[in-house]
Structure 1
Amino acid sequence: MMQHISAVVLVVPDYDVALRFYVGILAFDLIEDTHLSDTKRWVLIAPKNAQTRLLLAKAHGPEQVAAIGNQTGGRVGFFLHTDTFDEDFERMTAAGVQFEESPRKEPYGQVAVFQDPFGNRWDLLQLSS
C-alpha cells in the first residue's frame, strides 16, 4: 500500500489575495480553482513539480479568522525546498517578500525564514548535498 499527504489546508482571509502572493510572487502553480458556492472555492496550489499541495481555505467565523497566520502557534510551519536558494532569495526579496533574517548555514543546509502576507512563517531551504 502506498500513502502520501496530498494536500494541507492553509486558512487565508481572501482567495485572490492569497493567489496573488503564492502564484504571482512565489511562482507556485495553480492546480485548481473551482467555485463551490458564492463564498467557497476549492483552490489547490503547489510549488513547481511538487506532489503535496496547499488547499487555500477562506476563513469562516471568528475561530478560523483568529487562526490566520498562526496555524502553527508561531513556529515555522511550512518548508519551501529549492535547489536554487540564492536565485530564489534574491527574486523573492525583490518582489517584496519579508524575510525575518539573512540566509544562514545550518548542518542540514542553507535557510532563511520568511513570512507570507498573513503572518505564516516559512523556511526557504536548500538542503546540503
Structure 2
Amino acid sequence: MTIVVDEYDPAIEFFVGVLGFTLVEDSRAQTNDGRPKRWVVVRPPGAETGILLARADGAQQKPVVGQQCGGRVGFFLRVEEFDATYERMVSAGVEFVTRPRSEPYGRVAVFLDVAGNRWDLLGPGA
C-alpha cells in the first residue's frame, strides 16, 4: 500500500515518531527518468505489511496528497489499548476529527495523518 505525501521526513516523523510505526527502509532511489527519490517503508507495530511513503511527483500526483480515498476513511490502525493510544496521539498533536465512540465492533475515533488522509483508530469494545 502506498500513501502519497508532500515530503519524506515529516511523513517519517509522523508515522514513526508519533504513531510508533517501525521504519523498515529508507533508501536512495531514482524515478523512472533518473531523478532522485527515496524508497521509504514504515510498518505498524506487530504488522507484516508495510506502507510505502511516496513523495508526490508532479502536477498529477500533488492533488491526491490527503485525498487518496476521496475524503473517506481509507486506513485503519487497530490497537489493544485504545484510550492510552488516543491520549498519547492527542498529546502528540494528532488531529482527531471525531471524538472516541463505541460501536458494535469496538472503540473508534477518526484522525488525520500528516498528509490529511482519514484513518480509524480502532480498539476493543469497552
TM-score (structure 1 length as normaliser): 0.90
The residue that corresponds to 1:5 in the other structure is none
Match of 2:107 in 1: 110
Write the distance in 2 (CA, Å) between the matches of 1:108 and 1:87.
Answer: 19
Tell me if the contact between 2:82 and 2:124 (Cα under 8 Å) persists in the aligned partners. no
Q: Please give the secondary structure, in 1, of the residue aligned with 2:36.
A: coil
Which among 28, 34, 53 is matched to residue 35 of structure 1?
Answer: 28
1:51 Cα deviation from its structure 2 partner: 1.0
CA deviation after TM superposition for structure 1 residue 39, in Å:
2.8
Q: Size of the alignment, in residue pairs?
A: 122
Which of residues 64, 69, 73 is equivalent to 2:70? 73
Give, as a single letter, the amino acid of the residue that structure 1 aligns with 2:105.
Y
- 1:86 correspondence with 2:83: yes
- After superposition, give the CA deviation of every residue in 1:47-87 in whole Å (9 maximum; x if it has no partner): 11101110011110111100000000110010000001011
2:15 pairs with one of 17, 22, 25: 22
1:61 is matched with which residue: 58, 61, 72?
Answer: 58
TM-score (norm 2): 0.92
Instruction: Select the residue among 2, 6, 21 that pairs with 1:13.
Output: 6
Moved over 3 A (4+): none
Question: Residue 102 of structure 1: CA displacement?
Answer: 1.2
Provide the aligned C-alpha RMSD in A: 1.3
Q: Percent identity?
A: 52
Contact 2:100/2:109 (CA < 8 Å) preserved in 1?
yes
Can you give the 5+ residue segments of structure 2 that lack an aligned partner in the other structure? none
